[in-house]
């Protein structure tokens, strides 16, 4: 099955920056893809277009056959639910517990947990809390469930973010520079976690990285971007030959 298809995708930011120039690509259901390129190449714009944090200027971007470039309202929320995403800066709610942060992944996207004074834990039935706990188990940090998010190391916080994305039961998993703020050991753990999710759940994973060594070790397929264009698409062996 085809998970993602970009057709002549372009993004021009309001200041005139062309972040994506006519990008076309296809990602299948069973792929683990690493997108590499220097800072400013357009990797983040490509990933953020998929959950519509960014709206492309022209072209098509299909997620399991549905063009997401023009969806709005309720349909847009559904699209975002299908896409699990993690970021360089984890984006956890610092003063909430780890388990509550994972439960955020179970909230409807229009609900803001911070607007309610009540504990998030009490707003979820037991089955939901167990589901969230299970997501923590999958990333190997269930023993930290009741710690405050901001008491954790960077690598642990990133795994909480992965668990939160898993709690959405996504159909595709995106990671935008997930290891850029982490030490080498935590980076390895996070990449292994992403790989395991891919293998166990059989869902496609796209990871933006600027470390070529990690890209070569983890990417079965590598997409290379430069100045908004897709300039390479192949296995890591092909990449060695080009380099
Ligand atoms: P990468 O993820 O590869 O570092 P980005 O997609 O973040 O690349 O950025 C691509 C280009 O678009 C860069 O030149 C960047 O400065 C520019 N850019 C990113 N976001 C914006 C924005 N909101 N407004 C204007 N330019 C932006
Ligand atoms: P990332 O960590 O994803 O690369 P950046 O640190 O480059 O993000 O950018 C942080 C924010 O600033 C993002 O929302 C991005 O869209 C925006 N941004 C990046 N480059 C520019 C730019 N040249 N002009 C305006 N906004 C930008």
Place of tokens 């290379």: 224
pLDDT score of 120: 74
Among the residues of 26-167, which ranges form H helices?
A: 43-50, 73-82, 98-104, 120-123, 126-138, 154-167
Which residues have CB under 8 Å from 230's CB, separation 6+?
23, 24, 25, 223, 224
pLDDT score of 115: 53
pLDDT score of 117: 53
The closest alpha carbon to 178, from 164, 161, 163, belongs to 161
CA pair distance 208, 219, nearest whole angstrom: 10
Distances (CA, A) of 187 to 125, 155, 221: 34, 7, 19
- Output the CA 47–ligand 1 centroid distance in Å: 12
pLDDT score of 243: 56
Q: Which bound ligand lies closest to the C-alpha atom of 21?
A: 1
Q: What angle do CA 15, 69, 105 make, to 5 degrees?
A: 100
Three-state secondary-structure class, residue 177: coil
ipTM: 0.77
- Helices (H) and strands (E) counted in the chain, each on its own, are 9, 10
CB distance 5 to ligand 1 below 6 Å: no
CB distance 41 to ligand 1 below 6 Å: yes
Digit-by-digit pLDDT tens for the chain (243 residues) are: 899 999 999 999 999 999 999 999 999 999 999 999 999 999 999 999 999 999 999 999 999 999 999 999 999 999 999 999 999 999 999 999 999 999 999 886 444 555 555 577 777 888 999 999 999 999 999 999 999 999 999 999 999 999 999 999 999 999 999 999 999 999 999 999 999 999 999 999 999 999 889 999 998 899 999 999 999 999 877 777 665
pLDDT score of 23: 98
Q: Tell me 167's DSSP state.
A: H
The structure's pTM equals: 0.88
- Output the CA 42–ligand 1 centroid distance in Å: 6
Q: Which bound ligand lies closest to the C-alpha atom of 180?
A: 2
CA pair distance 52, 2, nearest whole angstrom: 19
pLDDT score of 222: 96
The closest alpha carbon to 42, from 16, 12, 83, 70, belongs to 12
pLDDT score of 123: 78
Ligand 2 atom, smallest distance to 39 CA: 4
pLDDT score of 108: 65
pLDDT score of 110: 42
CA pair distance 93, 21, nearest whole angstrom: 35
Q: Which bound ligand lies closest to the C-alpha atom of 56?
A: 1
Which of 12, 19, 44 to mutate for ligand 2's pocket (most ligand atoms within 8 Å of CB)? Answer: 44
- Output the CA 18–ligand 2 centroid distance in Å: 13
């Amino acid at each position: 099955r085809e998970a993602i298809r970009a057709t002549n995708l372009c993004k021009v930011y309001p200041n005139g920056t062309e972040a994506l120039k006519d990008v076309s690509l296809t990602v299948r259901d069973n792929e683990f893809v690493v997108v590499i390129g220097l800072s400013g190449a357009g990797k983040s714009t490509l990933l953020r277009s998929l959950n519509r944090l960014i709206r492309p200027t022209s072209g098509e971007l299909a997620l399991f056959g549905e063009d997401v470039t023009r969806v709005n309202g309720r349909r847009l929320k559904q699209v975002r639910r299908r896409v699990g995403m993690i970021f360089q800066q984890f984006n956890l709610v610092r003063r909430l517990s780890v388990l509550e942060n994972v439960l955020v992944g179970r909230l409807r996207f229009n609900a803001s947990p911070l607007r309610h004074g009540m504990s998030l834990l009490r707003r979820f039935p037991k089955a939901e809390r167990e589901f969230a706990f299970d997501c923590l188990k999958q990333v190997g940090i269930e023993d930290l469930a009741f710690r405050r998010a901001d008491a954790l190391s960077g690598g642990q916080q990133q795994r909480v973010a992965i668990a939160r994305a898993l709690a959405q039961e996504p159909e595709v998993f995106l990671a935008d520079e997930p290891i850029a703020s982490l030490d080498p050991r935590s980076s390895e753990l996070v990449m292994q976690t992403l790989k395991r999710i891919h293998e166990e759940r059989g869902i496609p994973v796209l990871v933006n990285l600027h470390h070529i060594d990690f890209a070569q070790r983890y990417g079965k397929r590598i997409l290379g971007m430069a100045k908004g264009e897709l300039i390479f698409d192949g296995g890591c062996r092909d990449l060695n030959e080009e380099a």
